[in-house]
Structure 1
Amino acid sequence: MPSTMPPLPADALVVGLAVDVAAFAIHDGELRVLLVQRGEGPHLRAWALPGGLVHPGEELAEASLRVLHDETSMDLEPRHLEQLHTFAEVGRDPRGRVVSVAHLAVLPHGTVAVQGGNEVLGAEWLSAHNPPPLAFDHADILAHALARLQVRLEYANLALEFLPEAFTLPELQGVYEAILNRQLDKRNFRKKLLAQGVLTPSGERRSGVGRPAQLYRRAKHARTAAL
């Protein structure tokens, strides 16, 4: 049966659909965001979040993973990926009307090597709390992503996605402090976190300077609560 859907009017607005990805990882105790240096205008040589137009028939999550790989040569997939916010300010891109669905990503524990791909000059993990000037409205996107990341600490235990399978309580506290950009009281942090039931002892200890540290894992049926 032929479709009765009327065609779009000739003066219909043509809008480009894009994705931009704020990808985070902990490096040397600091929260870093993955940035690329643009190799073409507008904003030539400026730092930006990985991003690009969505291909026909491509899901938004697929597009986000694609641009991460294409622009940073990174083969490792995020441990967490979620839609963040839609940015549709008129004039956000001088090339035309482009609506971006921003995503937040968390990369696994450990240093993830990146390098520029496609038409970018380079890719680096830079400070998330003190980034360089960013192209387009990417400073706003990063600010939204940081705020979401901090909220997700409180009710989704997202800090655990930054760590290896087994970790110490000081390492977990370090993730919280890196994301919140402030120090936490050690005793109160441990007391509240252990009371939530989100962790379980692994039965192993890590040797180092002083007394071997107890290792923990995510509890199988972890409940969430705010610190």
Structure 2
Amino acid sequence: MLGLALPPQATQVGLAVDIAAFAMHGGELRVLLVQRGELPHARDWALPGGFVQPGEELHEAALRELRTETTVQLEPRHLEQFYTFGEVGRDPRGRIVSVAHLAVLPHGTVSVSGGGHTLGAEWLSAHHPPRLAFDHQTILTRALLRLQLRLEYANLALEFLPDTFTLPELQTVYEAILNRQLDKRNFRKRLLAQGILTPSGERRSGVGRPAQLYRRAKNVRVAAL
């Protein structure tokens, strides 16, 4: 079967990826942002991202841009495509469609620096970020909504924690993502009833009675899309 040639008036479209990468720092949900070093939007904060190379899979492009622009070399504990942004005029360089990815980086991922053409990289507040370049505030807002939705029918909160954790630490993750407080008793009762946690057999010493440590139950994974 012969391929169809593009008509002369066909729009030339660039394909890009943008990554909303999240982690917990000091009980707060943070997003990884870079300070752009090139026009357009030079010196503005933005999500890591860039153009997809020929023959490159989308998730490969997302990982490459994340590592190149932020020097983060750790493999995300979770990476998914969550929306495609293709509004006319979203990028002054031309018609560019971006496939946005949501990433959760391993617990303890703190130290970052800018790489490639960026001036710097920092973990900043996910709910109260600085002014962002392009339509990246819209992308971040939708990423947060996706993250909150995944709390309701998946086990994504567990990806923000180390292998063992306390129930208060898990509740902190939920509250940070939802940006609101939860009732401690109801939260504990609901989580334990779901069967996604199992006691580790260890306790963490601190102020007061040592806290029971939990881990994810066997065969519990992030739910499929």
Q: TM-score, normalised by structure 2?
A: 0.96
Q: Residue 54 of structure 2 aligns with which residue?
A: 56
> Match of 2:215?
217
Q: Deviations over 1:141-174 (max 9, x none)?
A: 0000000000101111100000000000010000
d(CA) in 2 for partners of 1:220, 1:72: 33
Instruction: Choose which of 193, 196, 204 in structure 1 pairs with 2:202.
Output: 204
Which residue is equivalent to 1:81?
Answer: 79
**Aligned counterpart in structure 1 of residue 102 of structure 2, from 81, 101, 104:** 104
2:22 maps to 1:16: no
Q: Could you tell me how far apart the structure 1 residues matched to 2:136 and 2:35 are?
A: 13
2-side partners of 1:130 and 1:224: how far apart?
27
Match of 1:144 among 142, 145, 164: 142
Q: Is the 8 A contact 2:25 2:110 kept in 1?
A: no
> 1:25 aligns to what SS in structure 2?
strand
Question: 8 Å contact 1:155–1:224 — kept in the other structure?
Answer: no
Number of residue pairs aligned between Structure 1 and Structure 2? 223
Superposition deviation, residue 223 in structure 1: 8.9
Give SS of 2:30's match: strand
Gaps of 5+ in 1: none
In 2: Cα distance, 1:205 partner to 1:32 partner:
28
What SS does structure 2 have at the residue aligned with 1:170? Answer: helix
**What RMSD over aligned residues (CA atoms) do the two structures have, in Å?**
1.4
Deviation (angstroms), 1:221: 3.7
Task: Read off the aligned partner of 2:196 and give its amino acid letter.
Answer: V
Alignment map for 1:155-174 (pairs within 5 Å)? 155-174=153-172
Work out which of the residue numbers 188, 191, 194 in structure 2 matches 1:193.
191
Contact between 2:16 and 2:49, CA under 8 Å: does it hold in 1?
A: yes
Deviations 1:77-108 (A, max 9, x none): 11000001000000000010000000000011
* Distance across 1 between alignment mates of 2:199 and 2:136: 40
Measure, in 2, the Cα distance between the counterparts of 1:161 and 1:173: 13
> Share of identical aligned residues, percent?
78
CA drift at 1:207: 1.1
Q: CA deviation at 1:224?
A: 9.1
Question: Which amino acid is the alignment partner of residue 200 of structure 1?
Answer: T
Compared CA separation, residues 224 and 18, structure 1 to 2 (3 A): closer
Greater shift, 30-39 or 3-12, is seen at 3-12
- Structure 2 residue runs of 5 or longer lacking an equivalent are none
Cα distance in 1, alignment partners of residues 30 and 221 from structure 2: 28
Contact 2:78 2:105 in 1 (8 A): yes
Alpha-carbon separation, structure 1, partners of 2:79 and 2:220? 20
Query: Which residue of the other structure, out of 73, 89, 92, is the alignment partner of 2:90?
Result: 92
Instruction: Decide which of 178, 190, 215 is 1:180's aligned counterpart.
Output: 178
Query: In 2, distance between residues paired with 1:70 and 1:223?
Result: 29
Q: Is the 8 A contact 2:21 2:32 kept in 1?
A: yes
2:193 partner letter: A
